[in-house]
Amino acid sequence: MKRLAAVILILLTALSFGGCQTKDSEKAYEEPVIMFAAGVGGVEDGSFNSSIINGLRKGARELKYDLKILQSETDDQYNENLKAAIQAKPAMIISVTGHSDQLLAAAAQNPDIHFALIDGTTPKNAGADLPANFVSMNFDNAQGAFLMGVLAASANDTSGVQGFIGGMDIPVVKSAEIGYRAGIKAVSPENVVVSSNIGSFNDAEKAGQVAGEQHNQGAGVIFGFAGGSNIGVIENAASGGYWFIGVDQDQAVVYPQFAPTILCSMVKNVDNAAYDAVKMQMDGSFKGGIYEYGVGNGGITLGSAGGNITPELQSIYDTWQKAISDGSVRVPETQAELDAFNGHTEEE
């Protein structure tokens, strides 16, 4: 009877999701259930959410769990989806940056469910304060963005202007902008960075408009840290004849038709982080806390499928990547640290 009650509960809860689930949710119910509450911006965004789903689908094939994906078009819908997911009592609920407060609160109130935050913004020293049923898979966005800044300044040393377009005003984006500015400062301290925040990870039209404005201000390279909105920047870069730098997935792979205008991408291997989280759940090794992903352990890598990273640029990238990995360069994480940053190694 308990088994029957559990089945009825999950079926009734599924009905409350309405049209918010993808085809993964149409499979027959089998324990255990892993639920992914995707961030606002679309599950097939060619960027962040898509990469996480790739990792979760790999896990479903290899580790044998029932994956349910909840789509959200608005913040209110996200909150409703999270509430419904909790009521369904799955083995694990996974969500993304921008929703850390909601997920932490949910974990504290539901100790019988495991929670995983992908690309978390929890402080590095806060592991002991996290609920025991909560893991935060943190990415050092400042490190990766620093290397993109180095390449932007090195590939575009004639204009002296680089651009940055962020999706939302959240810590992950702020950290990336600081890292990007630091990388440019390390190579060409006299260069100017123009930056904008468009307020959405799913507004390609606005992103393209802002990209055009930055290009008119002289930007010869624009780093788009805006999720699904980045396609607007890519299209503008293609028509305007300037470089685009992407994030999350290798954008030259996602959009091969635009490969000639995509200098490179800061690949955040969030698919691996998502897989790591569900593997802990499935093999019984789950342990609450913070797990770090950066340029030193393969969490963040260079995407260069477009073929635009020359041997010289690759050498520059490798030099700085090594310096970050071995600790001889510490990437700024705050505005105060950026102001004091001189681009030199710690020893210097």
C-alpha 92 chain-centroid distance: 20
56 contacts: CB under 8 Å, gap ≥ 6? 34, 36, 67, 69, 94, 274, 275, 278
- Contact call for residues 186 and 216 (beta carbons, < 8 A): no
Q: What is the pLDDT of residue 248?
A: 92
What pLDDT is stored for residue 75 in this prediction?
84
Which residue spans within the chain are E strands per DSSP? 33-37, 66-70, 92-96, 114-120, 134-139, 161-166, 192-197, 221-225, 243-248, 262-268, 289-293, 300-303
Which pTM does this prediction carry? 0.85
Instruction: Answer for the pair 78, 72: CB distance below 8 angstroms, yes or no.
Output: yes
Query: Residue 129 has what pLDDT?
Result: 80
Query: Does one domain contain both 153 and 61?
Result: no
Same domain, 111 and 150: no
CA–CA–CA angle 249, 193, 42 (5° rounding): 30
Q: Which domain holds residue 7?
A: 2-139+270-293
On whether both 116 and 244 belong to a single domain, the answer is no
The answer to whether residues 166 and 262 belong to one domain is yes
Tell me phi and psi for residue 292, to 5 degrees. Answer: -100, 140
Same domain? For 316 and 169 the reply is: yes
Q: Could you tell me what percentage of the chain is helix, strand and coil, using 3-state DSSP and rounding each to the nearest 5?
A: 50, 20, 30
Q: How many CA atoms lie within 13 A of 170 on its CB side?
A: 19
One domain for residues 110 and 201: no
Model pLDDT, residue 128: 58
Classify residue 327 as exposed, middle or buried by CB count within 10 Å of its CB (0-12, 13-18, 19+).
Answer: exposed
Q: What pLDDT score was predicted for residue 26?
A: 41
Does the residue 304 lie in any domain?
A: no
Check if the beta carbon of residue 266 is closer than 8 Å to that of residue 246.
yes
| Domains contained in the chain, number | 2
Tell me if 251 is assigned to some domain.
yes
Residues 179 and 323 both lie in one domain: yes
Q: Is residue 346 part of a domain?
A: no
CATH number at residue 283: 3.40.50.2300
Q: Are residues 130 and 145 in the same domain?
A: no
Q: How far apart are CA 72 and CA 85, in angstroms?
A: 13
Q: Which long-range contacts (CB under 8 A, 24 or more apart) does 250-256 make?
A: 250/303, 250/304, 250/305, 251/46, 251/303, 252/303, 252/304, 252/305, 252/306, 252/307, 253/303, 253/305, 254/46, 254/47, 254/50, 255/46, 255/231, 256/305
37 and 184 belong to one structural domain: no
Q: How far apart are CA 316 and CA 332, in angstroms?
A: 19
Say what the pLDDT of residue 23 is.
Answer: 45
What's the pLDDT score for residue 29?
A: 46
Residues 64 and 94 both lie in one domain: yes
Residue reference for tokens 């990238």: 317
CA-wise closest residue to 215 among 194, 184, 191: 194
Is the Cβ–Cβ distance between 22 and 52 less than 8 Å?
A: no
* Rounded Cα gap, residues 76 and 136, in angstroms: 23
Same domain for 317 and 226: yes
Provide the pLDDT for residue 17. Answer: 44
Q: What is the pLDDT along the chain (348 residues), one digit of tens a residue?
A: 433 333 333 333 333 444 445 444 444 445 699 999 987 766 676 678 889 999 999 999 999 999 999 988 888 999 999 999 999 999 999 999 878 889 999 999 999 999 999 998 655 545 558 899 999 999 999 999 999 999 999 996 678 999 999 999 988 999 999 999 999 999 999 999 999 999 998 899 999 999 999 999 999 999 999 998 999 999 999 999 999 999 999 999 999 999 999 999 999 999 999 999 999 999 999 999 999 999 999 999 999 999 999 999 999 999 999 999 999 999 999 999 999 998 764 444
Tokens encoding 261: 């205008």
CA–CA gap between residue 276 and residue 270 (Å, rounded): 10
- Report the DSSP beta bridge partners of residue 343: none
